[in-house]
A and B are shown apart, each in its own frame.
Chain A
């Protein structure tokens, strides 16, 4: 009589310990809540569990009269989600590290597809 109980307890433990059948899967075509960077009308912002920041028209990256992007002030290249959805205003195309990238404020952004959309990751 003990073995059926053990069997049931094992099954129960597996069910409770295993991730749900829905974990990490798309539901109605929408992926799990993995978070993301946000591109706003005034530039690019990012947010994460421990930090937030922004590259705006008036902030870190600005375009000079001759169209060359320059850094307005130092901003650490921290993107908590690893990417941004749009390159900063004034970014210009450049080949960097063997990849076609965009450069702005002394940083290089490489376009990649992620979760079905184009995002830009910082190239070290």
Chain B
């Protein structure tokens, strides 16, 4: 009987969605998280490349340069510039505005009280999250653990840098294995800031998401104007559809 109990216990525990981390990797991830969480207002810039297979048809793939400004606990602004033009996300504590320059469209929806709650709501209701938001939530390490089953420290190495590697940063190299994707994350040894992330998705073709962080400013100034949105001339306000609404709009017949 005891053996049965033990077996069932082990099986149950093995199925729990908790990331197993080696102590060193865990500490490095926590340090990164604490560093970001301790900054009340911060700004960073990054390039993001998404393989077409990950977001087909939405025009969001390819290389995008993203600038993010965060003011905890409830203000967030992101500007993404890529081949689809400019996309802007502004959360001002009361509303979230999304603007897309290509069609000159914008939308505004009410937001919950915090960035964390906004992310949860957008993810659950609208099926997306703002770019690089994993690094703007109050506890990034928790977010990474949610996406991982195991976290391992692979060693140290330099990443980034320009010509001949000048300006490269010494980083701890982590591997986060998850059921949907596995990611390699490089975190600066001296400043504990994320420098690079490469996530490989377990789908056909192993498509990737690649993020390279270019600048961090953990003492960035922020003004109210940074989180205000004035529609450009001729901009048209359109609705933001939930995933449920889009599902209900699907045609009954799929045979043309």
Interface residue ranges, A against B (CB under 8 Å): 1, 4-5, 8-9, 11-12, 15-16, 20-22, 24-39, 48-51, 53, 75-86, 100, 111-119, 121
Interface residue ranges, B against A (CB under 8 Å): 1, 4-5, 8-9, 11-12, 15-17, 50, 54-60, 84, 87, 98, 100, 102-103, 105, 107, 123-124, 126-134, 146-147, 178-181, 183, 197, 199, 201, 203, 209, 236, 238-241, 243, 246-247, 249-251, 253-256
User: Which among B4, B16, B236 is the interface contact of A100 at CB below 8 angstroms?
Assistant: B236
Main secondary structure of the interface of A (DSSP, over half): loop
* Given A78-B253, A79-B251; 5 other pairs, CB 8 A cutoff: A12-B11, A12-B12, A49-B254, A82-B247, A85-B57
Q: Is the CB of A33 within 8 A of B203?
A: yes
- On whether A28 and B57 interact (CB within 8 A), knowing A5-B5, A113-B239, A116-B98, the answer reads no
Cβ contacts under 8 Å, A115 to chain B: 58, 126-128, 243
Residue of B nearest to A21 (CB): B17
B181 to chain A, nearest CB (A): 5
**Whole-angstrom CA separation of A31 from B241 in the bound complex:** 15
Cβ contacts under 8 Å, A39 to chain B: 57, 59
